Amino acid sequence: MDDFILFGKTFEDCINHLTLVLKRCEETNLVLNWEKCHFMATEGIVLEHKVTAKGIEVDKAKIDLIAGLPPPNIVKGIKSFLGHAGFYRRFIKDFSKISKLLTNLLTKDVKFEFSEGKIKVKLSEAPIVVSPNWNQPFEITCDASDTTVGVVLGQKRTKFSDLFTMLVEHSMKRKRIMS
């Protein structure tokens, strides 16, 4: 096991969870590297996402890395860029629509004109994904085009309708329906 994280709503919850985990580590002879352990942190990078009391954010260091990538000039480079950017697709509204131009470059006989600018801008503006309030109603918003389908599950947080989102986008392939 490489990493694990504990959390709680109160300090006492955290101590109780930590006690349980440390007992379990001791029972199973799991050795911890204390130099790499962080206790009672208010934020941290978990699975390449920044987790804070506000919610889940993109890792700024990772976004800076993506923003600094040189424009690719081969298909392998486009796949790499889309892989890096796609990791944060849940933070980018209309990611499938925005990335469609780049995805089209992966097909044969297409003029190679790379433009990743819009994705890089959207990554730098990525919102914070906050935890849902299970006592409040949810809203589902759907959108579709010829090439993508998007669904957002959210909640109104303020009168300005800030949403917590779990974005699900699926690429759709055109299919001819034979009758």
* Residue numbers of the domain that contains 104: 56-171
Same-domain status, 75 and 117: yes
Alpha helices in 4-161 (DSSP H): 11-27, 60-67, 75-86, 95-104, 117-124
Q: Is residue 111 part of a domain?
A: yes
Same-domain status, 74 and 117: yes
User: Which residue bears the tokens 């709680």?
Assistant: 8
pLDDT in tens, 122-136: 777 776 777 777 888
Same-domain status, 108 and 148: yes
Please state the φ and ψ torsions of residue 134, each to the nearest 5 degrees.
-65, -10
22-40 mean pLDDT: 89
Q: What is the pTM of this model?
A: 0.55
Same-domain status, 75 and 103: yes
Min mean pLDDT across 78-87, 107-116, 139-148, 164-173 is at 164-173
Q: How far is CA 12 from CA 5, 19, 25, 70, in A?
A: 16, 10, 20, 48
Q: For residues 155 and 163, is the Cβ–Cβ distance under 8 A?
A: yes
Instruction: Look at the chain and report how many structural domains it folds into.
Output: 2
Q: Is residue 2 part of a domain?
A: no
pLDDT in tens, 46-105: 888 888 888 888 888 888 888 887 777 788 888 888 888 888 888 887 788 778 878 887
CB-based contacts of 64: which residues, under 8 Å, 6+ apart? none
Q: For residues 94 and 125, is the Cβ–Cβ distance under 8 A?
A: no
